[in-house]
Chains A and B, each alone.
Chain A
């Protein structure tokens, strides 16, 4: 099963900007399918953070933004806050088996 590749960890000081990359292939992101982002706090279920590459569901602050180009996507967090410490996952549809694939996950640490 193909997976989407993310950096294992990123870190930044409060107030700084961090970005998380998500690299796929021609059967998922590169085929034009949308990328979605999730945040998972310790001991809780993942929660949808961005959908359709860059759209924020109700309640998600505009500090979170997303983009997609070619076979990759990225999530940016500006004005980093301590409560942003979590693991972030990307997800996309994969036409090789008509299902979804998740990224490997990125742990964000606020220094």
Chain B
């Protein structure tokens, strides 16, 4: 069974750094793109970016380029989304999702709530 299990909720202060994770099981991690999606409170889904763990090729949405970093560790089948200096506007739910057929997102993690507040 394919499973994407995300790290727990985080509460941080503005300016702090953060790295959230998405651990995969049930398929060959290196062979599928895995992406991140943001959902602001009460709002819709926004595509953040995606990584191919096999060679670390990474694509970012223009809206998120330079704001976050996506990485992956194939030795532990885990993808990451990282910030170096959080802002209050980063407060959101973040989902990881596997890229499936024809650029779909066929399997999703349960979400990680990130709250940034002074």
Hey, which bits of chain A sit against chain B, CB under 8 A? 1, 33-34, 36, 38, 40, 45-48, 51-52, 57, 87, 89, 91-93, 97-105
Contacts and interface: CB of A to CB of B under 8 A. Distances in A.
A40 B95 CA distance: 12
Given A52-B102, A100-B103, A105-B45, 20 more contacts: A34-B103, A34-B104, A36-B105, A45-B95, A45-B111, A46-B37, A46-B97, A48-B105, A51-B101, A51-B102, A51-B106, A89-B45, A92-B103, A97-B59, A99-B59, A99-B60, A100-B35, A100-B50, A102-B44, A104-B44
A97 B59 CA distance: 8
A102 B44 CA distance: 8
A110 to B, nearest CB: 21
A36 B108 CA distance: 14
A1 B63 contact: yes
Contacts of A52: 101-102, 104
B47 interface: yes
Contact of A101 (B47, B101, B107): B47
Nearest to A37: B104
Contacts, number: 79
Interface in B2-43: 35, 37
Contacts of A91: 45, 47, 103-105
Interface footprint category on B: 20 to 34
Nearest to A106: B44
Contact of A46 (B49, B60, B95, B102): B95
CB-CB nearest 4 A-B residue pairs? A105-B44, A93-B103, A36-B104, A34-B102
Nearest to B95: A45
Task: Please indicate which of the listed interface residues B59, B60, B95, B104 has the most CB atoms of chain A within 10 Å of its own CB.
Answer: B104
B100 interface: yes
Nearest to A2: B62
10 contacts: A33-B103, A46-B37, A46-B45, A48-B100, A51-B101, A51-B106, A52-B101, A91-B45, A97-B62, A98-B59
Contacts of A34: 102-104
Nearest to B63: A1
